[in-house]
Amino acid sequence: MKWQKGQSGNPKGRPKKGGCISDILQDLLAEKKNGTTRLRRLIEVYLKKAEDGDIDAFKALRSYIQPEPRAAQLIELNDPEPIRAIIRGGDAEPS
């Protein structure tokens, strides 16, 4: 059988593969139980552990609580000692 011009030889398209781990994880974390997502419950557990002194739980949450500064710059004033300023956000480059 010859295909007409512009007609697909595979109208249903390529079959879908199994979901990758990140897709499956996102689906599972979005599931709700009693009106709360798994992701929210997981974060609450980590937050409680961090409050109780678990340093690993704190480290896991730290970058979301207060992101690391993007760049540091030296600013020279009329003082012989330079001052190091921390620039938060943006794409500042050290000079």
The domain limits of the chain are 22-65
Please name which of 88, 80, 15, 36 lies closest in space to residue 45, comparing C-alpha atoms. 36
CB burial string 42-61: b at 16+ within 10 A, e below: eeeebeebbeeeeeebbeee
CB 52 within 8 A of CB 45: no
pTM above the 0.85 mark? no
pLDDT tens digits for range 42-88: 999 999 999 999 999 998 888 787 666 666 665 556 666 665 666 66
Q: Which letter does DSSP use for residue 31 in this model?
A: -
Contacts with 4 (C-beta within 8 Å, 6 or more apart), sequence order: none
